[in-house]
């Protein structure tokens, strides 16, 4: 069988309609918007904003957010068309299977592990950091950091991390909640979304009064910006190609792109949506629009309150609390409140990431590309509970033993690759199946999808050689899995064998 064998859209929709024992349809448009915001506003905003400003973009991190948003908009329009037309769990993986064939679908499915699974790991690491900050460092360094991290104490003693236990804890709690049910998870998520959006607005409102105009000068980092000495003794050079000017802004866009990961996770819940043809575009594009506005204003206020170079020398994951405690006297209570809200916000991000990954695995398993255990539903809750438990183990290993910065960049590249291929898929399907009903049509095809490919491709190139090499290694592992297991277990392969005539007997 060809590597480019495709699934029939008609058969896909018919199978989903006839599967009365499948996933429950419990989500509405407001639930999907909340789900999107729940996934989007989290570690990207509260952690990666400061990282992008300090490392490459400076105050122009606001422009970095806009570049990322434009790339996401082009991809989001394509996602919205696909999700309304093919309301099936699996997101980009399912769309690729119907347009570009099984091999490309597998590549996207494997790349989505970088987005959802490693995204959950990255955010759980940030959750651990904020929890420790809330308790003033009460958790010993060894028990909340990976073995690859170390710190030098005041007496020059070097302490190495052992395992990140708080990250494992939050992953376990949310995995159990997902097993309990999607509707229950969505209700918890809605409450968390309300709280964290309120806190973001409070910081913007109060922080605006503490902005220092001098902090926004120069707005774009010049090529002769002075070096910054870091706490570990190393030096950050802004004169490097990707650390200043417009290339620095593009590099910043690649970093803060992590902040937009999540709106596409809405599409993984299409099969659990009451009216996906109408509600999926609202959920995807609505959550993206709301978060973009909040991001740009938030970044402007943050870099106005604290000089962007501070985020290289202090703050790190707890950068927002650092800015408040250092530059907003009298508002220590706000730092504590924000830490609590951020913990809740991170929890909703992890929740949606784990939901998205389990639904992608659910679809891949139903197609025979993964073992059946990933699509087995709980007899009472109708959730893929075995997939959730296995994901907890996989994601937990990364969260416990891998630094957050490594996982974060890999998450971005996995997402960007999926975005590029979804944009390609829309162009292909418009040409090959132009008459298929499309409840939502992405405008200006193929121009917008091509622009999405260009913008997302540029952000992939900005993420650095080490990240690209690591991602390539991950994809090679995925191809090995495909050719050794998935290809011969694929439903399309086994059905093809069933339909073949029996061999003629020798006479």
Q: Which of 221-225, 302-306, 328-332, 414-418 has the highest mean pLDDT?
A: 302-306
Position of tokens 């609202």? 282
> What's the average model confidence in pLDDT over 386-409?
84
* Res 392: pLDDT: 94
- Asked if the model's pLDDT at residue 498 lies above 80, the reply is no
9-137+163-490 folds as Amino acid/polyamine transporter I (1.20.1740)
> What's the average model confidence in pLDDT over 211-219?
93
Contacts of 91 by beta carbon, 8 Å cutoff, 6+ apart = 79, 83, 112, 264, 265, 267, 268, 270, 356, 359, 360, 418
Give exposure, 436-457, as e/b (b: 16+ Cβ within 10 Å). eebbbebeebbebbebbbebbb
- Asked if the model's pLDDT at residue 26 lies above 50, the reply is yes
* Res 500: pLDDT: 45
Answer for the pair 244, 222: CB distance below 8 angstroms, yes or no: yes
* Res 338: pLDDT: 78
- Tell me the per-residue pLDDT of 350-372, one tens digit each, with 9 for 90 and over: 888 888 888 889 889 988 999 99
Answer for the pair 388, 189: CB distance below 8 angstroms, yes or no: no
Coil/strand/helix, residue 150: strand
Residue 235 β-bridge partners: 229
- Asked if the model's pLDDT at residue 499 lies above 70, the reply is no
Coil/strand/helix, residue 53: helix
Q: Which of 230-234, 238-242, 437-441 has the highest mean pLDDT?
A: 437-441
Mean confidence (pLDDT) of the chain: 84
* Res 407: pLDDT: 66
In the chain, count H helices and then E strands. Answer: 21, 4
Task: Report the relative pairing of strands 158-160 and 150-152 from DSSP bridges.
Answer: antiparallel
> What's the average model confidence in pLDDT over 460-470?
82
* Res 463: pLDDT: 77
* Res 60: pLDDT: 94
- Asked if the model's pLDDT at residue 235 lies above 80, the reply is yes
The DSSP secondary-structure symbol of 155 reads T
- Asked if the model's pLDDT at residue 502 lies above 70, the reply is no
| pTM across the whole model | 0.77
Answer for the pair 16, 22: CB distance below 8 angstroms, yes or no: yes
* Res 507: pLDDT: 37
Structural Rg of the chain based on CA atoms:
23
Report the C-alpha gap between 311 and 130 in whole angstroms. 15
- Beta strand ranges found along 46-182 (DSSP E): 150-152, 158-160
> How sure is the predictor about 241, in pLDDT bands with cuts at 50, 70 and 90?
confident
Q: What six digits make up the tokens of 421? A: 């291929």
Q: What six digits make up the tokens of 186? A: 């969505």
- Percent of the chain scoring above 90 in pLDDT: 25
Considering only residues 209 and 9, tell me which one the structure prediction assigns the higher pLDDT. Answer: 209
* Res 256: pLDDT: 84
Q: What are the Cα distances from residue 48, in Å, to 65, 123, 258, 299, 326?
A: 11, 11, 7, 10, 19
Considering only residues 498 and 51, tell me which one the structure prediction assigns the higher pLDDT. Answer: 51
Contacts of 213 by beta carbon, 8 Å cutoff, 6+ apart = 304
Among candidates 113, 171, 122, which has minimal Cα distance to 415?
A: 113
Lowest-confidence range among 102-106, 123-127, 259-263, 462-466? 259-263
Report H helices in 100-135.
102-112, 118-134
- Asked if the model's pLDDT at residue 477 lies above 90, the reply is yes
- Beta strand ranges found along 210-342 (DSSP E): 228-229, 235-236
Q: What are the Cα distances from residue 326, in Å, to 44, 50, 322?
A: 22, 15, 6
> What's the average model confidence in pLDDT over 155-164?
85
Answer for the pair 465, 421: CB distance below 8 angstroms, yes or no: no
- Tell me the per-residue pLDDT of 296-343, one tens digit each, with 9 for 90 and over: 999 999 999 999 988 887 755 567 888 898 999 998 888 888 778 778
Coil/strand/helix, residue 136: coil
């Amino acid at each position: 069988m060809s590597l480019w064998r495709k699934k029939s859209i008609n058969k896909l929709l018919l199978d989903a309609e006839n599967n009365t024992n499948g996933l429950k349809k419990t989500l509405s448009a407001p639930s999907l918007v909340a789900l999107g915001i729940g996934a989007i506003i989290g570690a990207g905003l509260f952690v990666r904003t400061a990282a992008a400003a300090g490392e490459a973009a400076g105050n122009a991190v606001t422009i970095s957010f806009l570049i990322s948003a434009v790339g996401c908009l082009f991809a989001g329009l394509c996602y919205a068309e696909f999700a309304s037309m093919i309301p099936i769990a699996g997101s980009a993986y399912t769309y690729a299977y119907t347009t570009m064939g099984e091999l490309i679908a597998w590549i996207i499915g494997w790349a989505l592990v970088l987005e959802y699974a490693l995204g959950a790991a990255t955010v759980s690491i940030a959750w651990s950091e904020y929890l420790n900050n809330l308790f003033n460092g009460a958790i010993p360094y060894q028990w909340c950091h990976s073995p690859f991290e170390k710190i030098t104490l005041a007496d020059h003693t070097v302490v190495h991390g052992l395992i990140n236990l708080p990250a494992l804890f939050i992953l376990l709690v949310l995995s159990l909640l997902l097993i309990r049910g999607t509707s229950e998870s969505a209700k918890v998520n809605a409450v968390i979304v309300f709280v964290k959006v309120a806190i973001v607005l409070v910081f913007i409102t109060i922080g605006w009064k503490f902005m220092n105009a001098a902090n926004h000068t120069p707005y774009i980092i010049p090529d002769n910006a002075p070096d910054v000495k870091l706490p570990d003794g190393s030096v950050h050079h802004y004169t490097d190609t990707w650390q200043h000017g417009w290339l620095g802004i593009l590099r910043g866009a690649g970093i803060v792109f992590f902040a937009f990961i999540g709106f596409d996770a809405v599409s993984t819940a299409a099969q659990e949506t009451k009216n996906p043809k109408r509600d999926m575009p609202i959920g995807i594009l609505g959550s993206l629009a709301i978060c973009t506005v909040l991001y740009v204003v938030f970044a402007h206020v943050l870099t106005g309150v604290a000089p962007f170079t501070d985020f290289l020398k202090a703050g790190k994951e707890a950068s927002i609390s650092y800015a408040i405690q250092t530059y907003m006297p009298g508002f220590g209570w706000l730092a504590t409140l924000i830490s609590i809200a951020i913990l809740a916000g991170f929890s909703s991000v992890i929740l949606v990431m784990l939901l998205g990954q389990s639904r992608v695995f659910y679809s891949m398993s139903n197609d025979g590309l993964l073992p059946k255990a990933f699509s087995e539903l709980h007899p009472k809750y109708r959730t893929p509970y075995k997939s959730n438990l296995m994901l907890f183990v996989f994601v937990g290993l990364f969260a416990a033993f891998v630094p957050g910065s490594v996982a974060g960049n890999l998450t971005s590249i996995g997402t960007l690759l999926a975005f590029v291929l979804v944009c390609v898929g829309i162009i292909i399907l418009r040409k090959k199946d132009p008459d298929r009903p499309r409840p939502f049509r992405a405008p200006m095809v193929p121009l917008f999808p091509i622009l999405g490919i260009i913008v997302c491709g540029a952000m992939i190139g900005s993420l650095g050689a080490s990240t690209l090499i690591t991602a390539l290694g991950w994809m090679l592992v995925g191809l090995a899995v495909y050719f050794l297991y998935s290809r011969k277990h694929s439903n399309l392969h086994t059905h093809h064998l069933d339909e073949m005539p029996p061999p003629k007997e020798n006479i």
